[in-house]
Amino acid sequence: METLNNHGRLAAIDVLRGFDMFFLVGAGDVLRNFFSAMGADSQSGILYQLNHTDWIGFTAWDIIMPLFLFTSGLSMPFSFGKFLQGKHSKRQLYVKVLKRFALLFLLGWIAQGNLLDLTIDHFHIYCNTLHAIAFGYLITAFLVLNISNIRWLIVASASLLIVYWLCMTFIPVSGFGSGVFTPEGNLAIHIDHAVFRALDDGTQYTWMLTSLSFAATVISGYFAGYVLKRSDRTEAKLKMLAIIGVALIAGGLLWSLQMPVIKKIWSCSMVLFSSGVCYLLLALSLLLTDKMKLNGWWITGLRVFGLNSITAYMLYEAFGLRNISKALLHGFEQYTGDFYPAIIALGEFSIIWLILYHMYRYKIFLKV
């Protein structure tokens, strides 16, 4: 039997989401600053894996955003369960989906879109991980609510990637031609510049057309949740997740021969490769929580982050807790030298942890 939390979901989901947030809001910054102080080479080894790839390629740090999107789809078979069982109407669920979409967009603007600056000069329409989740969730929900046959749902999700690939490969860009995957020459960045104009975020990341790829990542998570919800034995689920994970990684590497693995444009090969990694991480989480029945302090610690993942993300992105850490720990700068940034990052992480643990202890779970 699966190990369920108080909300009826598999504990493996919360552990996996907690693993993602654990590294995003604290452990990554602490390790990055620590190894920098140790003089690690930024272009190789551990420090390289703790930073995003400039363009082509994929590091351990690059999995954070895909895993965030993946886990948003992972919980959908459980949260949509009542509708799928006929207990809620489609209209009720559409209202729920649209409310979540709007709230995610608002939180995305607050976190990274400079909404609270109250000036149009600093405002960006579509620029944040939460915005990617919002569109991925919206498209996935629309497909799930209108396609009941799992095989046709797979066809529909594959079509999203194919359409994105066709557009990126065959539609020419003025001055560059077609099938160009450089930062300046790809179709997706030109669409963003044309649509957003002065409200574009000015980065190499792409958003509008790339929403098709975002949705493909969310849907890959939905299919993983579908596997988890089946009545099969845990061993069968682990085997299926592992096989799918390896197949997706292989497919991504094969596709990369034509369309490279590029996270900033959410290339088709990146979707398959990162989703495969997510499937293997989910298999590991299921193995630890359900098969091995581990329930130690570190499992609880990951669930603290996983059960309030959006809260953890907003605390990290929008509340300036690093300034509080500096105010409390500035006296250590004279003694710690190059390790001072790691101390500050650890302080920020500790503040976030204390807030989330308090919420966990008193069963306060803020869901979007």
The predicted pLDDT at position 43 comes to 73
The predicted pLDDT at position 34 comes to 92
The predicted pLDDT at position 1 comes to 37
pLDDT tens-digit series, residues 168-208? 999 999 999 999 999 999 999 999 999 999 888 889 999 99
Share of the chain above pLDDT 70, in %: 95
Residue 253 to residues 136, 248, 261, 270, Cα–Cα distance (Å): 23, 9, 8, 8
The predicted pLDDT at position 8 comes to 39
Q: What is the mean pLDDT of residues 130-141?
A: 96
Output the CA torsion 324→330→333→339 (10° steps). Answer: -20
Cα separation, 55 vs 350, whole angstroms: 32
pLDDT exceeds cutoff 80 at 44: no
Q: Is the dihedral of CA 243, 249, 252, 257 positive or negative?
A: negative
pLDDT exceeds cutoff 60 at 285: yes
Asked if 213 and 160 count as a contact pair (C-beta separation under 8 A), the reply is yes
Q: What is the mean pLDDT of residues 316-332?
A: 93
In sequence order, the 6+-apart residues with CB closer than 8 A to the CB of 239 are none
In sequence order, the 6+-apart residues with CB closer than 8 A to the CB of 61 are 23, 28, 49, 50, 51, 52
Using 50, 70 and 90 to split pLDDT, how confident is the model at 311?
A: very high
pLDDT exceeds cutoff 80 at 232: yes
Using 50, 70 and 90 to split pLDDT, how confident is the model at 367?
A: confident
Per domain, the residue ranges of the chain are 11-361
pLDDT exceeds cutoff 80 at 96: yes
Q: Tell me the whole-structure pTM to 2 decimals.
A: 0.93
What are the φ and ψ backbone dihedral angles of 209, each rounded to 5 degrees? -65, -35
150 or 249, higher pLDDT = 249
- Tell me what the pLDDT averaged over the chain comes to: 91
Q: Which long-range contacts (CB under 8 A, 24 or more apart) does 234-242 make?
A: 234/2, 234/286, 234/290, 234/291, 235/291, 237/286, 238/283, 238/286, 238/287, 238/291, 241/279, 241/280, 241/282, 241/283, 241/286, 242/279, 242/280, 242/283
Share of the chain above pLDDT 90, in %: 75
pLDDT tens-digit series, residues 239-271? 999 999 999 999 999 999 999 999 999 999 999
Cα separation, 81 vs 46, whole angstroms: 41
The predicted pLDDT at position 160 comes to 96
The predicted pLDDT at position 343 comes to 96
In sequence order, the 6+-apart residues with CB closer than 8 A to the CB of 171 are 178, 187
Specify whether the backbone of 10 is left (phi greater than 0), alpha (psi in -120 to 50) or beta: beta
Q: Identify the weakest region by mean pLDDT among 2-6, 167-171, 319-323, 326-330.
A: 2-6
